[in-house]
Amino acid sequence: MENPTPASWESLPSWLLTQTAGHAHRLVFDGFASVGARGYHYRLLATLAEFGPASQAALGRRSGIHVSDMVATINELADEGLVERAPDPADRRRNVISMTTAGKRQLRRLEKELAETQERLLEPLSTEERQRLTELLSTLLDHHNRRTGAPEEPWR
């Protein structure tokens, strides 16, 4: 007799969205944790794989990871031997970050884990429903990214 009626806000789109995202976050987090990593680790490794070695600032811009968090993220990955930090001979302010072989291996593990997580997340939805959801969310995300300055717009 403690929780008979659902709370009034539980049907609001903003609630559905943030709560579902909470579940998604937990699933992703647990998946990464099972391979000894967390979100920022994956994003950094994936960015390195996609764009190649780069300075910390550039990696921050491309991955959406804040520069000040980038420091710790790289420290952690470097301690595990997954990335390497080397001074840039062409610009002594910069470090050049690159992925090691172990880093590439770890990235593959994380991608596999992440793919399985998508499956767990969308489990109750049919293929068409998944497609539809993805489209709707993309529309929403694009809209708000444009309104709120996209994750990345270095020039202006």
Partner DNA sequence: TCGAATCGTTGGGCGCACTAACGATCGTGC
Partner DNA sequence: GCACGATCGTTAGTGCGCCCAACGATTCGA
Q: Which residues bind DNA (CB under 7 A)?
A: 18-19, 22, 25, 29, 38-40, 55-58, 60, 64-71, 74, 85, 91-95
The listed partner (a copy of itself, DNA, none) that binds 23, CB under 5 to 8 Å by sort, is a copy of itself
- Residue ranges in 64-126 assigned as alpha helix (H): 67-79, 101-122
The listed partner (a copy of itself, DNA, none) that binds 102, CB under 5 to 8 Å by sort, is none
Which residues, 61 to 100, sit near a copy of itself by CB under 8 A?
61-64
Cβ neighbors of 107 (< 8 A, separation 6 or more) are 42, 45, 46, 49, 99
Distance CA 51, CA 62 (A): 9
Which parts of this chain interact with a copy of itself (CB under 8 A)? 2-3, 5, 7-9, 11-14, 16-28, 42-43, 46-47, 49-51, 58, 61-64, 114, 117-118, 121-125, 129-130, 132-134, 136-141, 143-145, 148, 152-155
